[in-house]
Amino acid sequence: MTTLRLRERIRSKFRKRKQVAVPPPPPRPIPKGSKIVERYPLYEPFAHVAIVQSPKTGEYKYVLDELQLDPLERGVYDRILEILLAEIESPKEEILDPRKFFAEEAKKIVDKYRISLGWLPDVSWYKILYHAERDLVGFGRIDPFMRDPNIEDISCDGVNKPVYVWHRKYESIESNLEFGSDEELDNMVVKLVHMARKHVSSAFPIVDASLPGKHRLAVCYRREVTPFGTAFTIRKFREDPYSIIDLINLGTFSEEMAAYFWICLENRASIMVLGGTAAGKTTALNTLACLIKPGSKIITIEETAELNLPHENWVSLIARQSYGLGGSGIGAVTLFDLVKTSMRHRPDVLIVGEVRGQEAYVLFQALATGHGGMCTMHAENLDSAVKRLTQKPMDIAPAYIPLMNIVLSIQRVHLIKDNEKKAYRRIITVNEIADYEDYKCVFKWHPTKDSYSPAFDKSVMLSAISERVGASKEELLAEIKRRRDVLHWMRERDIRSYRDVAAIIAEYYARSEKIYEKILAGEEVEAIAISRNP
């Protein structure tokens, strides 16, 4: 391309720029008089966060401090954004890291045009590229929040309202980010929905989708159902899923409890996790499922993909929303459909992310025909869960309830540790269902001591297993102890990533005597890497 043509092209971009929307206002600065409690980087040197506390109310606030573009930089940014959109060719092969691909391509294009766009210092170019990456391949203005590992949830309740974040340490706190116009908020949400390869419009205002990186996105679009304007919530997915060792270290499980679940799962016990919103049900379900024998055929069924298993023989099924108008349900594939279908694939274990309706009925049918099953359910305690299970739409016969062998209740609790009050997740109770309305509590959490006490003498599950495998209950208790030692050994060695933990568990399934002897002798165990999903 000649320089003349290049100039003409850039000039024409400049002319077009007049239509570009007013830039969004920067996040608000730290309110006067507030105390900075903590400060940490999110993406050096572009984005930092300060947690501030109001001296009057004692409330915490999440203040995002992001390098902003000055008017001159903003002008260049608008132009370069269009050039990038026009010139970056779609990659020939599938790319693993879109951000890296973008950064490399963008740099080449910027090098080509930077002289014709007018002189700017390098610092400005870094800022411009940061903003371009954030807006084109990242998650837009909420991108810095997505980079903060302390944030679990991000929620926006409408236009001109502060975005709230759920912070590991400070819980639900207000941030200084807000969307100033319907247009800005709607565009951002449409972009997010497109990133999840879904569609949202006034005709289909409710969307549940899975963003790249498996973050769960729930949207109510425009003022169709939400009078304050578009609302969205993102439940962030941990790239490195919690392993059972992590949850023991966090105090959610005890070593003994994990060993008990391990033996029960080996013997096809069915398990249900109960709890409120964000109590940690799905996480507990996922970590428990990792204890299932490696060769088992597992089918997981969910509305949005959240589960992540190390098993080779794992099929993940995800429900699909309808494409039809006016609630016709055409083309929808529901959890109920998927659970029914899954039975034809002969799973050893069927895992339903969360049961809400009729699919529970089919899950219990599966349990009745000898399949293993696991699920979560939104319920405060076992009594209310059983009540819901036996009423419409789930409609499970009371005689079928004991097919669910073990039910654990998980809760978010507040504990004071090292003089600091923080939220933790604790398994409040583990109950075995001996019969309808006959529950045996085998583990109970003591809030004052923050510890668990087992009551294995009450366990009907261990009795059933001992009959099944022809071992005495004492032998089973000794096996629980051995597995506890294995888990303890992993904690001591800091073997915690879910893949490493899965490798040791697989090794124990294959050669329990050998690995246990090594552990007792304090020798290193070379975990034979089982072939696992990427």
Ligand X SMILES: Nc1ncnc2c1ncn2[C@@H]1O[C@H](COP(=O)(O)OP(=O)(O)O)[C@@H](O)[C@H]1O
Give contact residues for ligand X (rule: CB under 6 A): 152, 235-236, 238, 247, 250, 252, 275, 277-283, 425
CA distance 350 to 316: 10
We find the least distance from the C-beta atom of residue 275 to ligand X, in angstroms, to be 5
Q: What's the CA dihedral at 279, 309, 289, 214 to 10 degrees?
A: 20
252 touches which of Mg ion, ligand X, none (CB within 5 to 8 A by kind)? ligand X
We find the least distance from the C-beta atom of residue 26 to Mg ion, in angstroms, to be 34
Other C-beta atoms closer than 10 Å to the C-beta of 90 total 5
Nearer to ligand X, 377 or 404 (CB): 377
We find the least distance from the C-beta atom of residue 157 to Mg ion, in angstroms, to be 21
Task: Annotate 275-312 with b (16+ C-beta within 10 A) or e (fewer).
Answer: beebbbbbbbbbbbbbbbbbebbbbbbbbbbbbbbbbe
We find the least distance from the C-beta atom of residue 274 to Mg ion, in angstroms, to be 11
CA distance 288 to 271: 9
Q: What's the CA dihedral at 522, 528, 530, 531 to 10 degrees?
A: 150
Residues that bind Mg ion (CB under 5 A): 281-282
We find the least distance from the C-beta atom of residue 410 to ligand X, in angstroms, to be 7
We find the least distance from the C-beta atom of residue 237 to ligand X, in angstroms, to be 8
Nearer to ligand X, 225 or 250 (CB): 250
388 touches which of ligand X, Mg ion, none (CB within 5 to 8 A by kind)? none
Nearer to ligand X, 226 or 411 (CB): 411
278 touches which of Mg ion, ligand X, none (CB within 5 to 8 A by kind)? ligand X
We find the least distance from the C-beta atom of residue 311 to Mg ion, in angstroms, to be 20
We find the least distance from the C-beta atom of residue 278 to ligand X, in angstroms, to be 4
Nearer to ligand X, 277 or 531 (CB): 277
* Strands 420-435 and 60-66, sheet pairing: unpaired
Nearer to Mg ion, 158 or 280 (CB): 280
Which neighbouring-strand residues pair with 420? 417
277 touches which of Mg ion, ligand X, none (CB within 5 to 8 A by kind)? ligand X
CA distance 139 to 32: 29
229 touches which of ligand X, Mg ion, none (CB within 5 to 8 A by kind)? none
Q: Is the dihedral of CA 262, 265, 269, 273 positive or negative?
A: positive
Nearer to ligand X, 380 or 475 (CB): 380
DSSP string of 37-62?
Answer: EEEEEEETTTEEEEEEE-TTT--EEE
Q: How far lies 369's CA from each of 374, 399, 464, in Å?
A: 14, 14, 17
Nearer to ligand X, 110 or 244 (CB): 244
CA distance 443 to 429: 6
Residue whose CB is nearest to ligand X in the complex, by number: 280
Q: How far lies 226's CA from each of 96, 201, 202, 534, in Å?
A: 36, 13, 11, 39
We find the least distance from the C-beta atom of residue 235 to Mg ion, in angstroms, to be 8
Helices (H), 65-160: 71-87, 98-113, 122-136, 143-147
Amino acid identity for residue 206 in this structure: I
We find the least distance from the C-beta atom of residue 425 to Mg ion, in angstroms, to be 12
Residue whose CB is nearest to Mg ion in the complex, by number: 282
466 touches which of ligand X, Mg ion, none (CB within 5 to 8 A by kind)? none
425 touches which of Mg ion, ligand X, none (CB within 5 to 8 A by kind)? ligand X
Q: What share of the chain is helix, strand, coil (3-state, %, to 5)?
A: 40, 25, 40
Nearer to ligand X, 82 or 171 (CB): 171
Nearer to ligand X, 205 or 276 (CB): 276
464 touches which of ligand X, Mg ion, none (CB within 5 to 8 A by kind)? none
306, HSE (Cβ side, Cα atoms, 13 Å):
26
Q: What's the CA dihedral at 178, 184, 190, 194 to 10 degrees?
A: -90
372 touches which of Mg ion, ligand X, none (CB within 5 to 8 A by kind)? none
Q: Enter the tokens of residue 324.
A: 């039809």
CA distance 6 to 478: 78
Nearer to ligand X, 278 or 333 (CB): 278
